[in-house]
A and B are shown apart, each in its own frame.
Chain A
Amino acid sequence: MTDTPPDGESPDIDSCVRIGSIVSSNSHLDYVVEVYKERDCDRPPELHEREFGQPVFIKKTVNGTEHAVIGVIYDTQLVDPDQGRTGPRLAQDDQAQFTPGYIEERTTLAGVALLGTAEIAEDGAVQEPTHQMPRWTLEVEDTVFHCPDQVTVSFHTIDEQIQLAYMDRLLDIAGDLGSEVIVALIDRLRGVLPEDDPNHRVLDVVEQNVQWQAREQRGLV
């Protein structure tokens, strides 16, 4: 979280680190991103900038307004084309998710689940966030940006309250790691919110619920 801007100021959405580009999708809300390496750009993302649970965004101009389609890295996968050359499947056979196509060279893939959208204002700040399902389709080779924590908080603040209204869709896409992504998102939000923010307690309850449900599903309790 190196690029947290000075307090109070919205970060400039245009100067965000590029994480990679889209190579394929598994569904309308589930994309595969090839992470940039040295050769692909001036400043490839550092490891912590493309970690599990990292929010990302893709810029889209719709009807003349610039939007950010927000997503989160919910899975990663290493691909070595020399090994078997069959196009690996990360997920189990009965789960048709995250199955990238054929890839030329050794590379890191990230699974990105879309969470919602927001408008990008003139000054580069995000506004009017919504957690409704994004209706637009992304394109192959669309650039995926690292989403700074301040933007993450803006995206999650609706009606002056922290919201994660995409939760059921995210749990569905992220499958086995669903609760972990949500906990990672919640941790990130907690780290940015002021200590006395009343949303902390709400996030605690949400986190408890998600973790409990996951434990139940995994047969632990």
Chain B
Amino acid sequence: MADRSNVVGTVAGPGDDPNEFVFVTPSDKSIKTGEFITYTVSVEGEPRSVFARVTNRELIRGLPEGFLADPEVGPETVAATLGVPTDDTELYQLTATVIGYYDTNMTTFANPRQLPDPGTPLSIAPHQQLETVLPNLGCETDSTDITTLDGVAHIGWLLNRPAEATNLHIPIEEFASTHLAILASTGSGKSYTASVLIEEMMRPSSRASLLVFDPHGEYDTLAEMQGEEAFQGEDGYEPEIEYYDPERLRVRISELEIGDVMAILDNPSNRMQERLSTAWQAMQRQESRTWGIDELIGEMERIYGDDDASVGALEWRLRRSIERNDLFHPEENVPLDEIVDPGQCTVLQMDTLDRRDQQLITTVLLRRMYRERLDDVRDRDSDIEHPIFALFEEGHRFAPASGEAPSLGIMRTITSEGRKFGFGLGIISQRPSKIDQDVLSQCGTQISMQIKNPNDQDAIKNSVEAAGEDVLRELPGLTPGQAVVSGDAMNTPALIQVRQRRTPHGAGSRPVIEEWREAYDERQREPTQSESADFGEGDSTGVQSLD
């Protein structure tokens, strides 16, 4: 311990918690909360680097607050007047929580169950070591060049360190199989972060099969990956970005379950519900998978007679809600082999669909894909013979805590069972408290960004057991692009700055003033036109999804 040149502080003694210790640093070694420090202990005769996270920082010696009484008189002036030296006066006491040493057999942290002795010198944890041990990469040494690993996503770097100094690469397999949640208030960088991950997953070293359910058209710029060198493989690989606009989104009527149909219909009476279920089940038992409303009504009339009042009322409702909605079709279906393929990212653009239709297309697609994955794993014929990952913007819309979405059931099934069948979900939401708790708590990896709303903070606390209290405390203060990554993809949570995208970001705020002026000029040019401005289908805007 002769060389103390990289020592930043000295252990003073144990802290309040069994895993905590306090240490003291002078002011020039400015160590921020969230910083990772190390010290050496001997575990079974071998020296081990133990990592600890700084959780609190307090001034224990400094100029008295009384010196700050007059804002126009600097405290150092008052100090000089009294002959108090102002260099090196400040001493800080910091609290740190022991994370553990990296156990190369278990490839994760092990708690040494022993706090450092008072006087133990502490250093800042070296970059490469942190890069190796923070994410759950399963490295066999505690210092590996992780840029040589395959299947990792470079998501950003530690926030407390200079840009790109300590980079965080998370294992794609981990978050893609045990599900991912990206949670943050609006404008904090959820879509941006998701796009960074998509970029990483589409690189030649991973070639993922991705599906993005995009209710706001925020992923239009991903196509620019094509032609970019960073995404090209030596074997000629290049990611395929496929956009599916609402024109091509179709739900074959026979794919709907009776619960879905009930959700579409306006307040059907009990008698109507009973008739519809009976007829629907009868239709489902038929050989043909391509029947429409006509056939369904024919079936009801066959069972209940031509002049049954309830059947008449149902016919009116079914024709209005299903037959006249272009989304539903007796035969057409979204061909699964077109939307999922390795090395392909399909963006389902749902921005012109209303919320109910978004939920229905999602429900039906998820069910079909889940069935195919099940078949594949069970060695039956399958249209999808590889794992898939589906990302949901406005996740609370598809798996709402209120339970009112036909898609909730299949979302719950996939989040709880999908891991076995190679079907991962990514849930993005600005309202974690509005997401079904079962779904949210099954998301093994969490990326939490700025969240101010206390209910949403609680939702994260309750469902994200991996993120400790001390890390969650940071959430309200984060700025766009800053995030806490926790869960299965990490050995311990870390506060990071998400890296810049390689492709441009397509989901910025609208240039409101510019658009007003343009719209006004437009008006001036066409004075006779009196049609009101089209603000889009009300139901598909983000504002309404808030509740």
Same assembly: yes
- A residues apposed to B, CB below 8 Å: 131, 159, 161-168, 201-206, 208-209, 212-213
Please give the distance in Å from B87's CB to the nearest CB on chain A: 15
Question: CB < 8 Å: which of A161, A168, A209 contacts B77?
Answer: A161
Which A residues lie within 8 Å of B78 (CB)? 202, 205-206, 209
Question: CB < 8 Å: which of A164, A208, A213 contacts B83?
Answer: A164
In the bound complex, how far is the Cα of B64 from the Cα of A205, in angstroms? 12
B70 near A205 with CB under 8 A, answer yes
Question: CB < 8 Å: which of B66, B72, B83 contacts A209?
Answer: B66
B72 near A167 with CB under 8 A, answer no
Which B residues lie within 8 Å of A202 (CB)? 73, 77-78, 81
The winner among A131, A168, A205, A206 for most chain B CB atoms within 10 A is A205
Question: CB < 8 Å: which of B66, B70, B83 contacts A201?
Answer: B70
Which B residues lie within 8 Å of A201 (CB)? 70, 72-73
Which A residues lie within 8 Å of B67 (CB)? 205, 209
Please give the distance in Å from A160's CB to the nearest CB on chain B: 11
Please give the distance in Å from B269's CB to the nearest CB on chain A: 75
Which A residues lie within 8 Å of B70 (CB)? 201, 204-205
Please give the distance in Å from A113's CB to the nearest CB on chain B: 15
In the bound complex, how far is the Cα of B407 from the Cα of A11, in angstroms? 94
Asked if B82 lies at the interface with its beta carbon under 8 angstroms from chain A, I say yes
Q: A165-B82, A209-B69 are in contact. List 16 more A-B contacts (CB 8 A).
A: A131-B83, A159-B80, A161-B81, A162-B81, A163-B82, A163-B83, A167-B82, A168-B83, A201-B72, A204-B73, A205-B66, A205-B69, A205-B73, A205-B78, A212-B66, A213-B66
Complex A-B: 18 CB contacts under 8 Å: A131-B83, A159-B80, A161-B77, A161-B81, A162-B81, A163-B80, A163-B82, A163-B83, A165-B81, A201-B70, A202-B77, A202-B78, A203-B81, A204-B69, A204-B73, A205-B70, A206-B78, A206-B82
- B residues apposed to A, CB below 8 Å: 64, 66-67, 69-70, 72-73, 77-78, 80-83
The winner among B64, B73, B82 for most chain A CB atoms within 10 A is B82
A166 near B83 with CB under 8 A, answer yes
Q: With contacts A205-B66, A205-B67, A208-B66 known, is A164 near B81, CB below 8 A?
A: yes
In the bound complex, how far is the Cα of B251 from the Cα of A133, in angstroms? 92
In the bound complex, how far is the Cα of B82 from the Cα of A203, in angstroms? 10
Please give the distance in Å from B83's CB to the nearest CB on chain A: 2
Nearest residue in B to A207 (C-beta to C-beta)? B69
Please give the distance in Å from B384's CB to the nearest CB on chain A: 74
Which A residues lie within 8 Å of B69 (CB)? 204-205, 208-209
Q: With contacts A161-B77, A205-B73 known, is A167 near B66, CB below 8 A?
A: no
The winner among B67, B72, B77 for most chain A CB atoms within 10 A is B77
Question: CB < 8 Å: which of B64, B77, B83 contacts A167?
Answer: B83
In the bound complex, how far is the Cα of B66 from the Cα of A162, in angstroms? 18
In the bound complex, how far is the Cα of B69 from the Cα of A202, in angstroms? 10
- Secondary structure of the A side of the interface? helix
Q: What 9 pairs between A and B have smallest CB-CB spacing?
A: A165-B83, A209-B66, A205-B69, A201-B73, A205-B70, A167-B82, A205-B78, A202-B73, A163-B81
Which A residues lie within 8 Å of B83 (CB)? 131, 163-168
Which B residues lie within 8 Å of A163 (CB)? 80-83
In the bound complex, how far is the Cα of B64 from the Cα of A201, in angstroms? 17
Please give the distance in Å from B84's CB to the nearest CB on chain A: 8
Please give the distance in Å from B62's CB to the nearest CB on chain A: 14
In the bound complex, how far is the Cα of B71 from the Cα of A201, in angstroms? 10
A164 near B77 with CB under 8 A, answer no
In the bound complex, how far is the Cα of B65 from the Cα of A213, in angstroms? 12
In the bound complex, how far is the Cα of B80 from the Cα of A159, in angstroms? 10
B73 near A164 with CB under 8 A, answer no
In the bound complex, how far is the Cα of B68 from the Cα of A209, in angstroms? 10
Nearest residue in B to A163 (C-beta to C-beta)? B81
In the bound complex, how far is the Cα of B80 from the Cα of A161, in angstroms? 9
B73 near A209 with CB under 8 A, answer no
Which B residues lie within 8 Å of A203 (CB)? 81
Please give the distance in Å from B456's CB to the nearest CB on chain A: 43
Which A residues lie within 8 Å of B77 (CB)? 161, 202
Nearest residue in A to B77 (C-beta to C-beta)? A202
Which B residues lie within 8 Å of A208 (CB)? 66, 69
Nearest residue in A to B72 (C-beta to C-beta)? A201
In the bound complex, how far is the Cα of B64 from the Cα of A168, in angstroms? 14
Nearest residue in B to A162 (C-beta to C-beta)? B81
In the bound complex, how far is the Cα of B83 from the Cα of A162, in angstroms? 10
B81 near A209 with CB under 8 A, answer no
Which A residues lie within 8 Å of B73 (CB)? 201-202, 204-205
In the bound complex, how far is the Cα of B63 from the Cα of A209, in angstroms? 12
In the bound complex, how far is the Cα of B66 from the Cα of A165, in angstroms? 17
In the bound complex, how far is the Cα of B77 from the Cα of A163, in angstroms? 10
In the bound complex, how far is the Cα of B72 from the Cα of A205, in angstroms? 10
Which B residues lie within 8 Å of A168 (CB)? 82-83
A164 near B82 with CB under 8 A, answer yes
In the bound complex, how far is the Cα of B79 from the Cα of A164, in angstroms? 10
In the bound complex, how far is the Cα of B66 from the Cα of A205, in angstroms? 8
In the bound complex, how far is the Cα of B82 from the Cα of A206, in angstroms? 8
In the bound complex, how far is the Cα of B66 from the Cα of A159, in angstroms? 23
In the bound complex, how far is the Cα of B72 from the Cα of A203, in angstroms? 12
In the bound complex, how far is the Cα of B4 from the Cα of A205, in angstroms? 41
Please give the distance in Å from A198's CB to the nearest CB on chain B: 8
Which B residues lie within 8 Å of A162 (CB)? 81
Nearest residue in B to A116 (C-beta to C-beta)? B83
Which A residues lie within 8 Å of B80 (CB)? 159, 161, 163
Which A residues lie within 8 Å of B72 (CB)? 201
In the bound complex, how far is the Cα of B79 from the Cα of A167, in angstroms? 11
Please give the distance in Å from B351's CB to the nearest CB on chain A: 61
Please give the distance in Å from B44's CB to the nearest CB on chain A: 53
In the bound complex, how far is the Cα of B72 from the Cα of A131, in angstroms? 26
Please give the distance in Å from A22's CB to the nearest CB on chain B: 26
Nearest residue in A to B65 (C-beta to C-beta)? A209
In the bound complex, how far is the Cα of B66 from the Cα of A202, in angstroms? 12
Which A residues lie within 8 Å of B66 (CB)? 205, 208-209, 212-213
The winner among B64, B66, B77, B81 for most chain A CB atoms within 10 A is B81
Which B residues lie within 8 Å of A164 (CB)? 81-83
In the bound complex, how far is the Cα of B83 from the Cα of A159, in angstroms? 12
Which B residues lie within 8 Å of A206 (CB)? 78, 81-82
Please give the distance in Å from B81's CB to the nearest CB on chain A: 5
The winner among A209, A212, A213 for most chain B CB atoms within 10 A is A209
Nearest residue in B to A199 (C-beta to C-beta)? B81
Nearest residue in A to B68 (C-beta to C-beta)? A205
Which B residues lie within 8 Å of A131 (CB)? 83
